[in-house]
Amino acid sequence: MRIGTFAKELVSTARQLATPGKGILAADESLTTLGNRFSKINLENTYENREAYRSMLFTTPSLSNYISGAIQFDETLKNKTPEGELLQNILKKSNIIPGIKVDKGLSLLSNDETLTTGLDGLEDRVKYYYSQGCRFAKWRGVIKISNKTPSTLAIEENANSLAKYAYICQSNGLVPIVEPEVLAEGDHDIDTCAEVSTIVYSAVINALHKHSVLFEGILLKPNMIAPGIKSQKKASFQEIAQKTLETLNRTIPPAVPGIMFLSGGQSEEDASCNLNEINQINKGKGPWVLSFSYGRALQASSLKAWHGKNIKAGQEALLHRVKMNSLATLAKYQKENGNGESLHVSNYSY
């Protein structure tokens, strides 16, 4: 088995990423997505502004106390600080494992459903990213809930792509973050989300088995189990946590070291409250480290505070969010009653 060459390293990297008390900073927004975010603070989507933003995030003092890894976009590998140091080196020096998004976004599959692209040439790209110091990767498969979806086709095709990606990554030394995201889009209730997610996660795990992926050397990045954004029936943090744990317990092997949730459009505080509740209920039970790999729920207030120029304010806001989520992984987070603004974006692409 080709993965054998890297097995020890993969297990060690995955465990480091899932260090209790730490999470992952997802900062791998594509050029268009970051452009959309910048437009909200009236900032032009230029190379220099993207570099300045990511430099602000990655040079945050003490970030590594709460963050074990950072997911980057391809362009970021070339980015430098104002002093001329590669951001990639800044991460390594501060003991944050550099990661990279390797999927190439969504393509239409059928009936308004999508399949993630990027398998063409993936092996060469993964080899290159490893040579540049990256040690883990991300691939996001997206599933939509509606009257007609998800179709068996979308579930199977996305599961197979995630498994192919995972195998190629592991064969070349990168820990794959396997991200099956059941979108919050829609008016479905929490039980429907649980039902669909159970089917989706089972298909993904089955496909990973078929592709001989090493479970100890992956991380799972799922959605939390919650009602759709337009659902009439809201759910408490406790219900969300209970259903999320029930669904994961039914589908995910204990060999997986860490489950690093996506935030999926939840407000910054809701994402912390839900993660805290999950860890509260699961205290002392295992088998996985239950942590975060948030994008929007770590960066939203930081981007606003930075506003294109205020590095100190941006870094303080980021540090605050990573600290709060670190506490949530330890079930020690106290609700802040501050920023409950939803970060949901319709048909969000990353």
List contacts with ligand 13P (CB under 6 A): 26, 140, 179, 262-264, 294-297, 350
Question: Is the dihedral angle over the CA atoms 239, 242, 248, 251 positive or is it negative?
Answer: negative
Strand partners, 106: 116
Q: Which is nearer to ligand 13P, 3 or 143 (CB)?
A: 143
Q: Which is nearer to ligand 13P, 140 or 321 (CB)?
A: 140
Residue nearest to ligand 13P (CB): 295
Q: Which is nearer to ligand 13P, 59 or 274 (CB)?
A: 274
Respond yes or no: is residue 216 known to be catalytic: no
Q: How many CA atoms lie within 13 A of 236 on its CB side?
A: 4
Q: How far is the CB of 41 from ligand 13P (least distance, A)?
A: 17
* Helices vs strands, H then E, count in the chain: 11, 10
Tokens standing for residue 154: 């979308």
Q: How far is the CB of 251 from ligand 13P (least distance, A)?
A: 20
Tell me the pairing of strands 136-143 and 113-116.
unpaired
Respond yes or no: is residue 179 known to be catalytic: yes
From the list 221, 268, 269, 277, the catalytic residue is 221
Strand partners, 71: 26, 99
Phi, psi of 148 (to 5 degrees): -100, -10
Q: How far is the CB of 343 from ligand 13P (least distance, A)?
A: 7
Q: How far is the CB of 139 from ligand 13P (least distance, A)?
A: 9
- Residue where the block lists tokens 């942590």: 291
Which DSSP state fits 299? H
Q: Which is nearer to ligand 13P, 6 or 139 (CB)?
A: 139
Which positions are annotated as active-site residues? 179, 221
